[in-house]
Each structure stands twice: as C-alpha cells, then as structure tokens.
C-alpha cells in the first residue's frame, strides 16, 4: 500500500477563530480562503512490514512532535485496526510560521491515505476528515476561493470561484522564522474562554462572510479588501483582549501593514491579512504584484518574500 499526494496551504480572508466542539475540532464560525499554488506539501504514505508503529519524516528528518496528530488522522481515514505506516512529507516553505503548513499537511495526508487504501472517498468527506485534524486543512481540499460553512454538526466546504477565474496573487512577507508562540488550538480556547470580544466576533461572522462571498462572485477587489482587513483586525482584537493576551505581531508586522496602506493610498489594488503568526500576506492583482513585492522587500524587518498565485485543491499524484 503506497500513495503520494500534493496539497497547498490556504490563506483565510474571512478567518476561522474559535471552536464549537473541541473534541471533534468543529469550527465555531465559517471562513473563506484562497488556496495557493507555488507553496506546497508533498506527502507519501506507505506500509512497511518491518514497522512496529507509525513513523513520520518531515523534510527527511524523523518528527515525533506531530506524529500523534498524524496517527489520529490516519486512524480516522483508515480505521484504528490499520497497519503501521511510514509517512514522508516535504515542504518547500517554512513550517509553523503562520503560513498554514498544517493545512497543506493534513489535506495532503487524508488524500494520500485514501489513495493508498483505494477507498475513493468524495472530496467533501476528505475535507471533513482533514478538518477534524486541523480546521483550516478542510479548505485546502479545494482550489481557488473556498468557503467553509459550519453546518452545526459538521463542515461543508465548497469552491466559490476557481483559481483561474480570478487569478489574484499573494506576496507573503516573512518577518520571523521559527514556530509560533502559542498554537492555534490552545489560543482559540483561550480566546473563547476569556476574550470579552469573542461573542461579538461569532455574531458578526455571517455578515462578513456574506460581504466577502458577494465581492468574490462579482470580482469586486476593493470590497473584498475592506472586509478582509476588517475581519483580520477583528480576529486579532479578540486575541489581544484575551487573558493572557495573544499577540503574534512584531514591529516588522506593523511596518508591513504601513507599507500596504501606503500602496493603497497611491491607488494600488492590495490588502493585507495576518494569521496566528507575525507574517503579513498581501493579496493583490497581477498588475500590482511586482510593486507590492518590491515595497515589502524593502520594508524594515522583512527577512524574506514569498510569492504565489492561486492553485488547485489537494490531489493524489
Ligand atoms: C488564524 O486550522 O491551525 O489561521 O483547527 O486548531 O488546527 P486547528 O487550527 P488551525 O487555525 C487556523 C487559524 C487561522 C485562521 C484561518 O486559517 O482561518
């Protein structure tokens, strides 16, 4: 039994922050994201009679930290009585730095495991299995602009518009390398339990989703930009008001936001979004990409720039 897959990370424009069921990892809110193209995770799942337990290799090195989550996800796809498996993943971008590496990893994992077993599950079911491992991973099963709906006892994921139908670009400014200070799962629970803004965040999400969905359907960049920045800053306000406060930004994060605002003032079609990490992702039109990349590259504190188009959902190779 052996199969390979590829998945790309996705960047949320309307964010998932908070869970309605921690045990089943159900998101408390819907979200909208874009799946990237140029950053990817390659995954290989194979059986090996000599193994006594699962083995996880990340970029050629054995990893024990992520192994329990990977084994649980494999149990969910293949059943708990499966044989031990060797899982090998390769990333072409820095992991655990707020670039959604867990999204591409678990999307690729469910696809590879399903292909290895020859189960042939539908994409919707694979999305739900990936989401149980990491909420944002459900969205990487689909390409382009993707919406995840919370249906109460599960998630429903669908594509709003394909990657080639509105080929926006993403310029990510890396301001710090290294793992994030508090993982999303733990941080979301801190917010749910302690942030005075959490309930307002949940209440307002349907409105933001509707505005963004309509902006995407009508290819209205400025409206999407306004609601995406608002939703991002609202999520970070929930985080800042948590106890203990969750602040993922550094001074370069703020510098990058200023750079984007400067470009906007000149009429450039660009907006920023920031996840649970200090990196700033600037979303822009293809015409604006080089100007945005140049401006962010010369912003104080930026270590590296990654550029990507929008791509397809996770697939077996
Ligand atoms: C800020 O999907 O990493 O990136 O379900 O606990 O694994 P878990 O969380 P995760 O959270 C992503 C949070 C976010 C916003 C988003 O991607 O929607």
CA 133 distance to own-chain centroid: 13
* pTM (predicted TM-score): 0.97
User: Which atom belonging to ligand 1 lies closest to the Cα atom of 276?
Assistant: 1
pLDDT at 97: 57
Our mutation pick for probing the ligand 1 site, out of 26, 98, 136, 157, counting the most ligand atoms within 8 A of Cβ, is 136
Averaged pLDDT of the chain? 96
Q: 20 CB under 6 A from ligand 1?
A: no
Rounded Cα distance between 267 and 282, Å, is 15
CB atoms within 10 A of CB 68: 11
Residue 140 Cβ inside 6 Å of ligand 1? The answer reads no
Residue 158 token pair: 């669908």
- Position of tokens 């822009």? 284
Identify which of 140, 122, 129 has the alpha carbon closest to the alpha carbon of residue 16. Answer: 140
Q: Whose CA is nearest to atom 1 of ligand 1?
A: 275
How far is Cα of residue 310 from the mean position of the Cα atoms in its chain? 13
Q: How is residue 114 annotated by DSSP?
A: H
- CB of residue 142 inside a 6 A radius of ligand 1: no
Per-residue pLDDT band at 16 (split at 50, 70, 90): very high
Q: How far is the CA of 112 from the centre of ligand 1 (A)?
A: 22
**How large is the average pLDDT for residues 9-14?**
97
Which of 129-138, 145-154, 288-297 has the weakest average pLDDT?
Answer: 145-154
Phi, psi of 227 (to 5 degrees): -75, -35
Task: Read off the pLDDT of each residue in 107-136 and give the average, rounded to a whole number.
Answer: 97
Structure tokens at 219: 């290819």
**pLDDT for res 162:** 98
Residue 135 Cα: closest atom of ligand 1: 5
For the segment 70-89, the average pLDDT, to the nearest whole number, is 97
Tokens, residue 26 = 């159900």
Taking the CA atoms of the chain, what radius of gyration do you get in angstroms? 19
- Atom 6, ligand 1: residue with shortest CA distance: 185
Q: First-to-last CA distance in the chain?
A: 14
Alpha carbon of 157 to those of 65, 68, 101: distances in Å? 29, 26, 19
Q: How many CB atoms lie within 10 A of CB 161?
A: 17
Question: 47: CA distance to ligand 1 center in Å?
Answer: 30
Q: Quote the ligand 1 centre to 86 CA distance (angstroms).
A: 26
Does residue 110 or residue 180 have the better pLDDT?
A: 110
Query: Counting atoms of ligand 1 from 1, which one is nearest the CA of 27?
Result: 5
| The pLDDT of residue 177 | 83
Residue 126 beta carbon below 6 angstroms from any ligand 1 atom = no
**pLDDT for res 191:** 98
- Interval 40-48 mean pLDDT: 96
- Each residue's pLDDT tens digit, 188-199: 999 999 999 999
CA of 276 to the centre of ligand 1 (A): 8
């Amino acid at each position: 039994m052996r199969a390979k897959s590829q998945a790309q990370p996705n960047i949320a424009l309307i964010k998932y922050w908070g869970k309605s069921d921690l045990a089943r990892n159900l998101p408390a809110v819907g979200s909208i994201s874009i799946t990237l193209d140029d950053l990817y995770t390659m995954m290989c799942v194979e059986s090996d009679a000599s193994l006594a337990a699962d083995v996880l290799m990340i970029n050629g090195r054995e990893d024990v930290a992520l192994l329990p989550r990977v084994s649980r996800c494999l149990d969910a796809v293949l059943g708990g009585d499966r044989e031990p498996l060797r899982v090998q993943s390769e990333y072409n971008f820095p992991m655990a730095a707020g670039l959604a590496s867990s999204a591409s990893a678990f999307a690729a994992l469910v696809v590879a495991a399903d292909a290895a077993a020859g189960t042939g599950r539908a994409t919707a079911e694979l999305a739900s299995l990936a989401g149980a491992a990491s909420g944002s991973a459900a969205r990487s099963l689909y390409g382009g602009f993707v919406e995840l709906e919370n249906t109460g006892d599960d998630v429903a994921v669908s594509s709003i518009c394909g990657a080639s139908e509105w080929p926006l670009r993403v310029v990510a400014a890396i301001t710090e390398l290294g793992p994030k200070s508090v993982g999303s799962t733990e941080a979301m629970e801190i917010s749910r339990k302690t942030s005075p803004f959490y309930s307002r965040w949940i209440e307002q999400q349907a409105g933001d989703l509707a505005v963004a969905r309509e902006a995407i359907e009508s290819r209205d960049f400025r409206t999407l930009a306004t609601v995406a920045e608002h939703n991002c800053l609202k999520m970070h306000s929930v985080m800042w008001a948590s106890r203990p406060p969750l602040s993922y930004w550094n001074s370069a994060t703020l510098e990058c936001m200023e750079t984007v605002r400067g470009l906007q003032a000149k009429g450039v079609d660009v907006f920023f979004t920031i996840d649970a990490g200090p990196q700033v992702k600037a979303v822009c039109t293809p015409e604006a990409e080089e100007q945005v990349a140049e401006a962010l590259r010369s912003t104080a504190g930026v270590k590296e720039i990654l550029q990507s188009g929008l791509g397809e959902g996770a697939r077996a190779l």
